[in-house]
Structure 1
Amino acid sequence: MHHTTRELRLAAALVEAADTLADGFDAGDHLQRVSDRCVELLAARTAGIMLVDAGRAVSFTASSRRREVALELLRSQHTGGPCLDSYESGEPVPPVSIRVAHAAARWPEFTERALRHDIVATFAVPLRRRETLFGALNVFVPTLPDRPPPPAPSAAGGTPGFASEVLVAQALADAAAVGLQNHRAYMRYRTLSAQLQEALSSRVRIEQAKGMLAERWGVRADDAFVALRRFARRHRLPLDQVASAVIDRAVDDAALRAADGPPPDGRA
């Protein structure tokens, strides 16, 4: 089977966009690479990604090429633009002439700034993973397609009719969304794992401290635990911290045994 160079580059870009399961992952760097691949594959002037939360833009990332232009155009969409339209609908905004949009008073602030930078046309696609929308990828192209793209498929189904450039951008955006969602899940599990490990380690330290005190004092482990707990409450310290002090012999037995009796707040 023969594959074109562009197809191979797209395949590599999709793998890169979804590869986010790493501790050193940085969302800004990752989304800049996605924007760079979009510019390279589509021969676009520049591109950028707007992340949106609760209907408001929360961050902007742009391609290395004409980065400042892309960031300015993304930020100018706070009153409306292709990114917000795509995010709100969950569908691509097909290629549109900046001059036509400006004449129709569509996205006035955005189109005014785009004209200043000689941007001819733009389109946007959503960053989505099933029902989760993260934002939108905005692409700025030097020309409009030779023919206007057909309308989007109906809810009943059908083959997408957008120009191939939009489909390539959507594939990259989908892969980026998968990467973002996978990294969020990965970090949640890593955090939970660390919390469980710390809880287990804390429990081991407390049991070790109980055993050391019980052996030194010649009492039951439960009685040693009561002394640990009362000392912790009296001095308003975490129980695990007191246990570590006992293990390290950083607190003397007399101080621990002096905690016998109810703490100042009256709790047992």
Structure 2
Amino acid sequence: MERASAWLKSAVGLAAVLRDGSEADLPRRLGSCARELLPVDSASVLLVGEGAFDGPGCDGPAFECLRTGRPLAGIDLRQKGPWPEFAARALAEGYVAAAVLPLGRGGEGPVGVLQLLSSDAALSEAGLAGLQPVQELGDLFALLLGHARTLRETRRTVDQLSGALDSRVLIEQAKGMLAERWRVTPTEAFRVLRAHARTHRMKLRDVAASVVDGTLLLEAGVDARSGGRS
């Protein structure tokens, strides 16, 4: 019962990160949860696309876990194994056991892995069943990270569309002001705006904003032979 309560507390804390913090806080929180639930000294989140799996020296169990999408448990670093260089580095830092869990199972593959290191040999004896609570948190982490990334991209798209709409409104407003002032068509007014922007290497939006707020006074006789459609 106590173990289930600890897991539930960790899961709620992980989910609350996006409410109280940011996407960048998720890996730190997952590592903290792993250290609370298992006898580990180090819990590192290695995400795809953030440089953790790039360059030389890609020789440890984390890369094997990412490639296969399967967890690796019971790694006794004191025993001869398939990752001698990784084991040597870990032993030099005082660790004797390791485990690696995929972050997100199924679908298009893991978004990364959770690498666990311990100075306690008990980790190498935990087995997959003993790691299951943290594996489930890893799956939750992947789900939350996916939602956070989708939300971030949606907000970026909304901001871009909002900016484009604001620019269009300013340009239309400037066209209308100039067309009324000069008694010309909106198309002719737009040609003058665009010609000024090109001549002075300005953004069309900035030219329009200056016309609207009165800081830029254009003359109807400005050469607009570059033409164009509104």
Report TM bin, short chain: 0.7 to 0.9
Q: Deviations over 1:28-63 (max 9, x none)?
A: x32112101101111322221222339x6259xxxx
Correspondence for 1:98 among 51, 57, 77: 77
Identity of aligned residues (%): 35
**Partner of residue 143, structure 1:** 121
**Contact 2:73-2:100 within 8 A present in 1 as well:** yes
Indicate the SS of the match to 1:57.
Answer: coil
- Per-residue deviation at 1:221? 2.4
Correspondence for 1:260 among 217, 223, 229: 223
**Contact 2:99-2:115 within 8 A present in 1 as well:** yes
Gaps of 5+ in 1: 60-74, 150-161
Partner amino acid for 1:17? L
**Contact 2:174-2:212 within 8 A present in 1 as well:** yes
Indicate the SS of the match to 1:139.
Answer: strand
**Partner of residue 89, structure 2:** 113
Partner amino acid for 2:104? R
**Contact 2:100-2:114 within 8 A present in 1 as well:** yes
CA distance in 2, matches of 1:204, 1:99: 68
- Per-residue deviation at 1:261? 3.7
Partner amino acid for 1:48? S
- CA spacing shift, 1:26–1:182, aligned 2, 3 Å: closer
Which 4+ stretches in 1 moved above 6 angstroms? Answer: 145-148
| Structure-1-length-normalised TM-score | 0.74
Partner amino acid for 1:84? F
- Per-residue deviation at 1:138? 1.2
**Partner of residue 99, structure 2:** 123
Counting matched residue pairs gives 226
The reply to whether residue 57 of structure 1 matches residue 33 of structure 2 is: no
Bigger drift between 190-199 and 8-17 goes to 8-17
Partner amino acid for 2:210? A
**Contact 2:31-2:45 within 8 A present in 1 as well:** yes
- CA spacing shift, 1:82–1:169, aligned 2, 3 Å: farther
- Per-residue deviation at 1:20? 5.5
**Partner of residue 163, structure 1:** 129
CA distance in 1, matches of 2:73, 2:31: 18
- CA spacing shift, 1:253–1:22, aligned 2, 3 Å: farther
**Partner of residue 175, structure 1:** 140
**Contact 2:104-2:142 within 8 A present in 1 as well:** yes
**Contact 2:74-2:124 within 8 A present in 1 as well:** no
**Contact 2:73-2:124 within 8 A present in 1 as well:** no
| Structure-2-length-normalised TM-score | 0.85
